Amino acid sequence: MREPLPARYVISVFAQMAGVHPQTLRNYERTGLLSPQRTRGGSRRFSDQDLDTLRRIQELTAEGVNLEGVKRILALEHELAETRERVHDLEVERRAAVEATHRAYRRDLVPVRSALALFVTPHRRRQGE
């Protein structure tokens, strides 16, 4: 999981950077679409990661998706990113386990050529002989 980026923008600067009204940002926060960090005094501080999220919200709303739809899409995108990260981690673990297994093979064993062996059992006597 990515570490959260440092929050450094106050709401007025962030709104200006994003081209939205500060009230829009407050609304997005209220609906759970944005989660800015807070100072001890309660002031909002936005990060570059928040800006990326806001741009994604703007893309989706421009395509006609309502805020509940945007919220669901963002949650699914987040879940997909986490799943991809987990798959990557499992792939790394799998490769390491395979390499460890190969290193553990006994190197003193030498393959033997295949040979065909026939086992012949003595014939049984026929009954009555």
Question: Quick count: other Cβ atoms within 10 Å of Cβ 15?
Answer: 19
Residue 67 lies in a domain: yes
8 A C-beta contact, residue 11 and residue 42: no
Range of the domain at 68: 11-104
The percent of residues above 90 in pLDDT, for the chain, comes to 66
Is a pLDDT exceeding 90 seen at residue 77? Answer: yes
8 A C-beta contact, residue 66 and residue 29: no
pTM for this model (two decimals):
0.67
Residue with tokens 């990060």: 47
Residue 5 lies in a domain: no
Q: Where are the beta strands (DSSP E) in the chain?
A: 37-38, 44-45
pLDDT in tens, 93-118: 999 999 988 887 766 666 667 666 66
Instruction: Report the CATH number that the domain containing residue 89 is assigned in CATH.
Output: 1.10.1660.10
pLDDT at 104: 79
Q: For the chain, what is the domain count?
A: 1
pLDDT band at residue 57, thresholds of 50, 70 and 90?
very high
